[in-house]
Amino acid sequence: MLTVEEVQRLVLAQVQVGSVESVAVELSLGRVLAQVVSTPQDIPAWANSAMDGYAVVCSDWTTDPEPVLVVVEEVPAGKVPRRVLTPGHCTRVLTGAMLPTGTEAVVMQERTEELADGRVKFRYPPQRGQFIRQQGEFRWAGAVLIAPGTPLTPAEIGILASLNYAQVQVQRPPLVAILSTGDELVPLGQTPALGQVLDSNQPMLTALVRAGGGTPWNLGIVPDDPVALAEVLTRAKTADFILSSGGVSVGTYDYVERVLDELGAQVLVRQMNLKPGKPLTFAHWEQACYWGLPGNPVSAFVGFWLTVYPALRKALGYSEQDWLLPEEQAVLMGPLKAGGDRRHYLRGRLHQGQFQPFGVDNSANFANLSGVNAFAILEQGQTLVQTGDSVRVVALP
Ligand code: AMP
Ligand code: MG
């Protein structure tokens, strides 16, 4: 049976980085950048004032410690200075204003005294360069400000806007077909008859796909009938990824792998050595990747995070170190038990290096999924980790 890492490697080897599209910068939040963003100009593009005050030349202090200078012009932000600064003169500047040629320092207004007739008295000698934001001080023209593969947050959107990007090239989200298999399933909103089961996987997987940056495409419930399944899968084939849940165990009605074989898909994974979620199918089918997730909602949840999420990240153009969920060591806030037969992923909450396990850890217990933001890993052979001990955890985003 393949390990989780082996399955992840197999899956990621099949995934291609997707195509690129252009979106308005205002609508680019959360999208992944697909171009290099560099600055065509120095930043700042011209020397400007960091203060409201006066642009001065320093030589005015060599003979007089408290010189009186004549104001030659006022330059607010947005205006271009007309006069070159010369000794005996100063220019009134406001924050962000372009500084006149010859400026050696800016003296803040609070350190001056305005006299009559457009003259100003200065006291303390300025340091050369003070309160000047020099041209190119932050970045030179041509410097890369945002690398491809960067998810766009409000910070990057601010940078893009400051560089006058109205449109930006981003990765197109993978289209992910989602279907549920099982004769027992009824769609949300219907009242299940005794023994029937609500299709909770479809909404959960839809949300997971969105959380991973994909575009969900819901194909509903498919009965446990190979012909019906083949029909829906053929329709789903135009998607980049196809996720089904259920029907991948060894039960009488578990047709998924057989149908995939018949359709000519290359089944690469039939089981994964973990709990919950051992029955997990992964296939490569022409341009599409196919996941047959377990029907059990907790197993489908874990299987998604460990094998589908990394594939979405790769397809979205994230850099390689950001494909898999990050792992860390945490201190256990309650004991963790496992069967020891396989590697276990146990649900709980990670906060500031501490992991709080969640109640009864049964793979059929979806009631304790709320608030889960991490899985603790107990390796094969490990049956107990005590409170206060260190445990390896994978953190969900
Ligand atoms: P299966 O993998 O098809 O044998 O399903 C395993 C268990 O998960 C069964 O108890 C199913 O009823 C349940 N199950 C399967 N699909 C879903 C679904 N879409 N939503 C909720 N439970 C499901
Ligand atoms: Mg089933």
Going by their DSSP bridges, the two strands 105-108 and 119-122 should be labelled as: unpaired
Cβ(295) – ligand 1 distance below 6 Å: yes
State whether CATH 2.40.340.10 applies to domain 327-395.
yes
How far does the centroid of ligand 2 lie from the alpha carbon of residue 253, in Å? Answer: 6
pTM for the predicted model, two decimal places: 0.90
Judge if the beta carbon of residue 245 lies within 6 A of ligand 1: yes
- C-beta of 294 in contact with ligand 1 (< 6 A): yes
pLDDT in tens, 63-122: 999 999 999 999 999 999 999 999 999 999 999 999 999 999 999 999 999 999 999 999
Tell me the CATH architecture of domain 4-18+173-322.
Answer: 3-Layer(aba) Sandwich (3.40)
Q: Where are the domains of the chain?
A: 4-18+173-322, 32-40+142-171, 48-133, 327-395
Does residue 185's CB lie within 6 angstroms of at least one atom of ligand 1?
yes
338 Cα–ligand 1 center, Å: 23
DSSP label of 368: G
Measured distance CA(394)–CA(249) in Å, rounded: 26
Query: Which CATH architecture describes the domain 48-133?
Result: Beta Complex (2.170)
Number of the ligand closest to the Cα of 294: 1
Taking alpha carbons only, the member of 330, 312, 320 closest to residue 394 is 330
| Ligand 1 pocket member 218 (CB < 6 A) | no
Per-residue pLDDT of the chain (397 residues; tens, 9 = 90+): 999 999 999 999 999 999 999 999 999 999 999 999 999 999 999 999 999 999 999 999 999 999 999 999 999 999 999 999 999 999 999 999 999 999 999 999 999 999 999 999 999 999 999 999 999 999 999 999 999 999 999 999 999 999 999 999 999 999 999 999 999 999 999 999 999 999 999 999 999 999 999 999 999 999 999 999 999 999 999 999 999 999 988 777 788 999 999 999 999 999 999 999 999 999 999 999 999 999 999 999 999 999 999 999 999 999 999 999 999 999 999 999 999 999 999 999 999 999 999 976 677 778 888 999 999 999 999 999 999 999 999 999 9
**Closest to 296 in 3D by CA, of 315, 314, 275, 320:** 275
- Residue 279 CA: nearest ligand 1 atom is 2
CA distance 78 to 89: 22
Q: Ligand 1 center to residue 246 CA distance, Å?
A: 5
